[in-house]
Structure 1
């Protein structure tokens, strides 16, 4: 076990280091923490973006007197990874142009998607683009920094985390997702309401997580040692029809309008099955038949996030990053709700940390096959990453989750084995695709492959029935 030494320089390789979202969150968290001595090596296929973020990172460090973090931009993946203790992976599979076709083509066939990055036709095609890239990153980690701890932030989380383990079975990796944070916030609110004063924070809410990424569930919860499950179930029943949020969605704010929800899907699933559905409504809705929620998304008060808005938002983020690079005032180095720095400190021998992550199933979720990527709590410490046994989902919920877990594993197999013949049957089996019938689904699949074939390995891009 390695004792925590805050003077020892830790090398962090950031793959996708030109990121406009996650990279600056990490910068702010490292600056706020102020105890880690770190060298952050940013790598991105857009080297200029990585150089810009390196300069912004240096500004964050300079603005926080206690911060001991330096930032550089590396021109090659190998250079960034060499000697790394810790690797962050945050990339965009393809471009927003490809994502736009992932959404628009199924819409022409009557399939509505609220996100399109995990399951459904959009998530499926995105995985085809992303798996080969993440697999190559995993191979490079095995070659250049085999002992590094690796966190994947890229969706589709399950198949991409699985690709890392296929590339390098001894990799010390996990997939990190913040969706469960929303349920923990609600739980803290309920505990404060019960206490009669604001006392608890999201971090005080403890939950037992089980399921797969973005289709996560919680079957036990507590705050300050008090069991809160009955309180949460009653709250969900109370607000099942009306929905609930600590403050209303600002309909004039496009981001809130397209990315926030009123928990009506969460509460409806919770009341149906007697176990808390724990991801955001926009993600949960895509795992079940379209008639449940997507067809009635306005009634259930969640947005369908248009790619056109994502493109405009990205332009705004680029402008904001360029302004920071030109000397605009930095946001205060307030901590985000992400757990990466806490996880890193724990792995270096600091205070033990427990949070929900994605790992291969080694029995932590009973009822799901060994090896599929599941989401449960895990314990981070100087001993490494140890998944926490979470138990088994109720039979009715397991019936919904299991086919997705099996499909994700089979999709990973098909892509890595370059087995194009296996793709269409898997695509047809998704609950959003099944209702449109074989002939139309096959036609749609061909159109989607044609739209993204330039991003695919040749053996997979050959499937195309469009003349």
Structure 2
């Protein structure tokens, strides 16, 4: 909403739908407050009672849902912890990401089919995690859908490089928007093999900086807030990123809390504090969410000033490019059609793509180091197989897929099955009946 308020290129009619109508009403009130004080083209907001009504004839669709509640997410984190399986986030891979995907795939599939009925020509942006699986679900249920997955994690390395460029220039001339990177990987486990700022190659300097700070780490000053508890549970010192560069020879682009979950727990999650990050407890998420909702309700009633400012997100720029035809390059999640060598066609991968009046064209990004490719291929194939199993209600492969994740595979088979069964039971009310019964 803040991005639309400061943008002078989009005069949007924004339709809001939520299964909790009161939340959509509240957000419409906030959006229209932004519009009233807008410096831009004054996007207007209205809430709708049905998904079909909101979607009918839409040009752009943005999907951002929570598949379940924070209590459900608590089960995703706390049950594996009893088996000695730690997770820093638990929404992408690992046992938490697996369960979240099983809950969310049917929800996203329903939305994808509604888009097919009501706005088949729309461009569709998915913001929901697990990003790869759910973006894949949209393409599975609606072949030909013009959908992409949007994630801001690559902003982290771009901000670091902008800081290096500013240090060189002895000024604050550069932001992350001036940093160009060539992205390769899958969502939340992304890497870059080219980095430049206004034509200058910054990869050598990044390597040098990483090596110099691989023991002490580095924290982005813009990520430091006045809330020490928030910074403790959501911050990092980039030590995992720097270590992965040493291991694989290619800079990691995502945040440490996500990167850590793609490798066996003994690497980073066994002692996360020594790697400069923390495991985020659900109780803190609940507390933080309650504070944010209270602030939103005050803003909707006009009892508090609007707190938004232009964000680090690229979504508004992507939409403008699609609507205006003015090209814009951004990292996105799309089916692989050859942009990453060595991964199967159709695999949801994260690379750069060109947004323009011709749509979204992925950019050929090249290849990954062999050892890194094997890790990514393992996760990507598991995500593809999980998606297929849930969409076809094929329960047979689910336990084996679950047990094959790097955070789980060290467990004896009986323990892995017990963990799977307990996690399914904890959120069975949100799972397809066939899956819940089979567990």
Both structures adopt the same fold (TM-score exceeding 0.5)? yes
* Correspondence 1:373 to 2:348: yes
The Cα shift of 1:334 comes to 2.6
* Paired position in structure 2 for 1:307: 282
* Correspondence 1:38 to 2:12: yes
The Cα shift of 1:205 comes to 0.4
Superposition CA RMSD, Å: 1.3
The Cα shift of 1:357 comes to 0.3
* Correspondence 1:358 to 2:342: no
* Correspondence 1:437 to 2:417: no
Does the CA contact (< 8 Å) of 1:60 and 1:330 recur in 2?
no
**Could you tell me which of 209, 228, 231 is aligned with 2:205?**
231
Does the CA contact (< 8 Å) of 2:159 and 2:220 recur in 1?
no
* Correspondence 1:64 to 2:38: yes
* Paired position in structure 2 for 1:415: 390
* Paired position in structure 2 for 1:457: 432
Please give the residue correspondences for 1:78-89 in structure 2 after superposition, counting only pairs within 5 Å: 78-89=52-63
- Mapped to 1, the partners of 2:220 and 2:423 lie a distance apart of 39
**Could you tell me which of 154, 170, 187 is aligned with 2:144?**
170
* Correspondence 1:138 to 2:112: yes
- Mapped to 2, the partners of 1:332 and 1:99 lie a distance apart of 28
Taking structure 1 as the reference length, what is the TM-score of the superposition?
A: 0.92
* Paired position in structure 2 for 1:211: 185
- Mapped to 2, the partners of 1:452 and 1:154 lie a distance apart of 19
1:78-132, CA deviations, whole angstroms, 9 ceiling, x for partnerless residues? 0000010000000001111110000000000000000000000000000000000
Does the CA contact (< 8 Å) of 2:240 and 2:268 recur in 1?
yes
* Paired position in structure 2 for 1:122: 96
Please give the residue correspondences for 1:182-197 in structure 2 after superposition, counting only pairs within 5 Å: 182-197=156-171
**CA spacing shift, 1:428–1:66, aligned 2, 3 Å:** closer
* Correspondence 1:424 to 2:365: no
Does the CA contact (< 8 Å) of 1:38 and 1:68 recur in 2?
yes
**CA spacing shift, 1:251–1:81, aligned 2, 3 Å:** closer
Aligned-partner SS, 1:298: helix
Show structure 1 runs of 5+ residues with no match: 1-26
Does the CA contact (< 8 Å) of 2:6 and 2:39 recur in 1?
no
Aligned-partner SS, 1:436: coil
1:200-248, CA deviations, whole angstroms, 9 ceiling, x for partnerless residues? 1110000000000000000111011011111111111111111012439
1:336-357, CA deviations, whole angstroms, 9 ceiling, x for partnerless residues? 1111111111001243111100
The Cα shift of 1:330 comes to 3.0
- Mapped to 1, the partners of 2:40 and 2:125 lie a distance apart of 25
* Paired position in structure 2 for 1:51: 25
1:124-176, CA deviations, whole angstroms, 9 ceiling, x for partnerless residues? 00000000000110001011000000000000000000000011111100000
388-397 vs 250-259, greater mean Cα deviation: 250-259
Aligned-partner SS, 1:435: coil
- Mapped to 2, the partners of 1:360 and 1:250 lie a distance apart of 36
Matched residue count: 438
Does the CA contact (< 8 Å) of 1:250 and 1:257 recur in 2?
no
The Cα shift of 1:332 comes to 5.8
* Correspondence 1:328 to 2:303: yes
Aligned-partner SS, 1:220: strand
* Correspondence 1:405 to 2:380: yes
- Mapped to 1, the partners of 2:39 and 2:377 lie a distance apart of 50
Taking structure 2 as the reference length, what is the TM-score of the superposition?
A: 0.98
Does the CA contact (< 8 Å) of 2:7 and 2:39 recur in 1?
no
Aligned-partner SS, 1:57: helix
- Mapped to 2, the partners of 1:181 and 1:256 lie a distance apart of 18
Does the CA contact (< 8 Å) of 1:366 and 1:392 recur in 2?
yes
- Mapped to 2, the partners of 1:136 and 1:246 lie a distance apart of 39
Does the CA contact (< 8 Å) of 1:78 and 1:144 recur in 2?
yes
* Correspondence 1:98 to 2:72: yes
326-335 vs 207-216, greater mean Cα deviation: 326-335
Show structure 2 runs of 5+ residues with no match: none
The Cα shift of 1:58 comes to 0.7
- Mapped to 2, the partners of 1:252 and 1:36 lie a distance apart of 34
Does the CA contact (< 8 Å) of 2:79 and 2:419 recur in 1?
yes
- Mapped to 2, the partners of 1:253 and 1:315 lie a distance apart of 17
Aligned-partner SS, 1:314: helix
* Paired position in structure 2 for 1:344: 319
- Mapped to 1, the partners of 2:38 and 2:11 lie a distance apart of 13
Does the CA contact (< 8 Å) of 2:185 and 2:191 recur in 1?
yes
270-279 vs 247-256, greater mean Cα deviation: 247-256
- Mapped to 2, the partners of 1:65 and 1:441 lie a distance apart of 55
- Mapped to 2, the partners of 1:147 and 1:252 lie a distance apart of 43
- Mapped to 2, the partners of 1:35 and 1:279 lie a distance apart of 30
- Mapped to 2, the partners of 1:357 and 1:304 lie a distance apart of 27
- Mapped to 2, the partners of 1:451 and 1:436 lie a distance apart of 20
- Mapped to 2, the partners of 1:246 and 1:339 lie a distance apart of 19
Aligned-partner SS, 1:94: coil
- Mapped to 2, the partners of 1:412 and 1:49 lie a distance apart of 29
The Cα shift of 1:37 comes to 1.3
* Paired position in structure 2 for 1:296: 271
